[in-house]
Structure 1
Amino acid sequence: MFRPKLLFTSLAALALGACAPQDPQAVTSAAIAKQVILPTYSRWVEADRQLAVSALSYCEGKIDLATARADFQHAQKAWAELQPLLVGPLAEGNRSWQVQFWPDKKNLVGRQIEQLVTAQPQIDAAALAKSSVVVQGLSAYEYILFDDKSNVADATQKARYCPLLTAIGERQKQLAEEILASWNSTDGMLAQMTTFPNQRYADSHEAIADLLRAQVTALDTLKKKLGTPMGRQTKGIPQPFQADAWRSQSSLPSMRASLAAAQTVWAGVDNKGLRGLLPADQKPLADKIDAAYAAALKLFDSTPRTLTEMLGDDAGRQQLNDIYDSLNAVHRLHEGELAKALGIQLGFNANDGD
């Protein structure tokens, strides 16, 4: 029997459901995943695909050393942009170590590469995947193309290192593709940051907390990547060989790329970043964080010299101190005031104990 009253009640309930406000943290989590993180992972995959092609082309004599080095620096930048976005599978296990081995206080990269090219002169990607993480990633690739000892400008040396170079290129491509496929899978990170609850996050607040923890850890790591070569842990004695990507002189550009990526998570696309979650009465804090990012990026952009060059004189060291202080300001704002404003307990970060 037709019941108009029941139908009206059902339609009214549907209408109310459609008008119900969306959870802002769920909207922000989904927006950051779709508009910031996923495109950055996709660029990383494309850069590593190009790296694999580049290694093969260089070893076949189709491109020169300068082009091969430029392709490495492109991949290094793509990886640096991922640092503030390390949530999910790439942050688990030792996967990030498989991409880049840092810090390397005992030159394990150089020592283990020399052992490997002697022990397995015709190594391929499958065998490399079973080797130490030290020789699988960008740090090893950089050593081959840039270190004086490898000296691949010499034809004999090039032939010696090329099997490993092409294996690393292929290994990095495979790893990046695996991670991206995992993100896009049915129950992958993209789904887990979009629909709640799920097996990773009980609610959207947990996802936002995870994002902020990744930001805080990345900003803390940036301070370490600059502070270590500056000698902040060695009584002011510079340690240029402790810098990230020092062989290719990519240290400062990599740091800037990481900072810019962190700013994108903060600002979001169409204001759907962490910034958009702050209530109106927190505008002074939002403005303070905006200004801190702008100041830090401006300092990076005003330093055309390499990190090694800047460590060599007083003026350069003062500039590096200014950059460090600016990074510290961004880090402290995220770790303290932003976490408090968003109601997030950070706990320990991945660098605690380093």
Structure 2
Amino acid sequence: MTDKPSGKSFDKLTRRQTLAAMLAAGMVGTGMRSASAADFAAFNPGYAKNIVMPAFAQLAAASESLATAASAGCADPKAPDLITLQQAYHIAADAWADAQMFRLGPLADGQRAERFAYWPERRNIIDKQLSALLADDDTISLDAAKLGGSSVAVQGIPALERLLYRDEPLPPTGCAVIQAIAGNLVAIATEAQKAWQQAAAKPAPFAANPTEATTQFYTNLLTLLQIVADQKIGAPLGGDVAAAKPKSAEQWRSGRSLRNIRRNLAAAQNALFGKGGFAALLTPEQSALADNLKKAFADAIAAAEKAGDDLPADVSDESRRHLATELLVKVNHLRDLLRQDVPPVIGITLGFNELDGDGS
């Protein structure tokens, strides 16, 4: 049975997910656009087909490529080809940044999201459990199935990053863990993709009714932007330079912190304005709102580009902190528009998401 790094925090997460689903179900309140269940029943399969499914197809393909690279790059475990392994790692991490928003259904089941990328990390648990795994002689015989039953902290992208970007050479067990992680990611991504293939055409995939499904899709979008603002930018930034926490930035070892944010923003933009996205639920009368949203996305993406590729340096250098601060302001503005202005006009009411009230 899969270990939970923090039973208390996982229980809180599970309760919030359950409550969110309960609140989301059938919630079309007064004063909102008179969207019908039929509108959402027509919208959901298109969203799943055009927005969700391509992300999981990419995730499965990238994970397969990573597994292939892990075999090639670890052909000689005593002299692993780190360049090949790092290149494949970045492709898989890109695919995860594009797909991590879609928490409805398969990623929420079986802790797949946490197993693929356990982050933010608490109490240095990844380093502790990874060190123990590397020190165990039995690790030489480790495979993906065994790893998939262990702690989520050592199963995914963050643990792989620590193996590929470290100051000291890999121990003899390092390649066994790399290959097991790659195989485990293939299993997770393939399971999620197959589950979506089976449900994508339904009017209410992984939900009790079409309204709930649309609401959950939209809640996932807002949750991603909350993660970007609060965890990916706000946590490293801190209140001032003295309170900055550069090593709380996501995947800072491999220099991916801002790259992930840019891909997250692009994925969110596609969820709204891509074919089958939420903009299809806006009426012509909401053209001004659509224009405001397009500008807000453009501004946030431009701020992420301006911030460069080194978020830890941005937050730690007083002369550069304005780059991270401006990015946070733009993302929060976008988030406010999406949270406050869009739900009433497309006919949904938002409940809680999995981060609400999480002070940990």
Tell me, yes or no, whether TM beats 0.5.
yes
Do structure 1's residue 308 and structure 2's residue 315 form an aligned pair?
Answer: no
Higher relative CO (CA 8 A, sep ≥ 6), structure 1 or 2? 2
* Residues 324-333 or 23-32, more deviating: 23-32
1:143 corresponds, among 138, 162, 170, to: 162
Please give the alpha-carbon distance, in whole angstroms, between the structure 1 residues aligned to 2:98 and 2:233.
16
Match of 2:17 in 1: none
CA-CA distance at 1:309 after TM superposition = 2.0
Root-mean-square deviation (CA, aligned residues, Å) is 2.1
Do structure 1's residue 106 and structure 2's residue 84 form an aligned pair?
Answer: no
Aligned residue identity for 2:50: Q
* Residues 241-250 or 89-98, more deviating: 89-98
| Secondary structure, aligned partner of 1:60 | coil
Please give the alpha-carbon distance, in whole angstroms, between the structure 2 residues aligned to 1:201 and 1:279.
26
Aligned residues: 318
Name the TM-score, length of structure 1 as normaliser.
0.84
Do structure 1's residue 76 and structure 2's residue 82 form an aligned pair?
Answer: no
| Secondary structure, aligned partner of 1:176 | helix
CA-CA distance at 1:175 after TM superposition = 1.1
Please give the alpha-carbon distance, in whole angstroms, between the structure 2 residues aligned to 1:137 and 1:311.
27
Unaligned 5+ segments in structure 1 are 1-20
Q: Over alpha carbons, which structure has the higher Rg? A: 1
Match of 1:202 in 2: 209
Please give the alpha-carbon distance, in whole angstroms, between the structure 2 residues aligned to 1:93 and 1:284.
41
CA-CA distance at 1:214 after TM superposition = 0.5
Change in Cα spacing, 1:295 to 1:90, as seen in structure 2 (3 Å) is same
CA-CA distance at 1:147 after TM superposition = 2.4
Do structure 1's residue 343 and structure 2's residue 342 form an aligned pair?
Answer: no
Please give the alpha-carbon distance, in whole angstroms, between the structure 2 residues aligned to 1:31 and 1:200.
16
Match of 1:171 in 2: 184
CA-CA distance at 1:66 after TM superposition = 1.8
Unaligned 5+ segments in structure 2 are 1-35
Change in Cα spacing, 1:105 to 1:44, as seen in structure 2 (3 Å) is same
* Residues 32-41 or 234-243, more deviating: 234-243
Change in Cα spacing, 1:173 to 1:199, as seen in structure 2 (3 Å) is closer
CA-CA distance at 1:140 after TM superposition = 0.5
Aligned residue identity for 2:40: Q
Name the TM-score, length of structure 2 as normaliser.
0.83
| Secondary structure, aligned partner of 2:99 | helix
Please give the alpha-carbon distance, in whole angstroms, between the structure 2 residues aligned to 1:57 and 1:162.
11
| Secondary structure, aligned partner of 2:316 | coil
Please give the alpha-carbon distance, in whole angstroms, between the structure 2 residues aligned to 1:34 and 1:63.
39
Match of 1:4 in 2: none
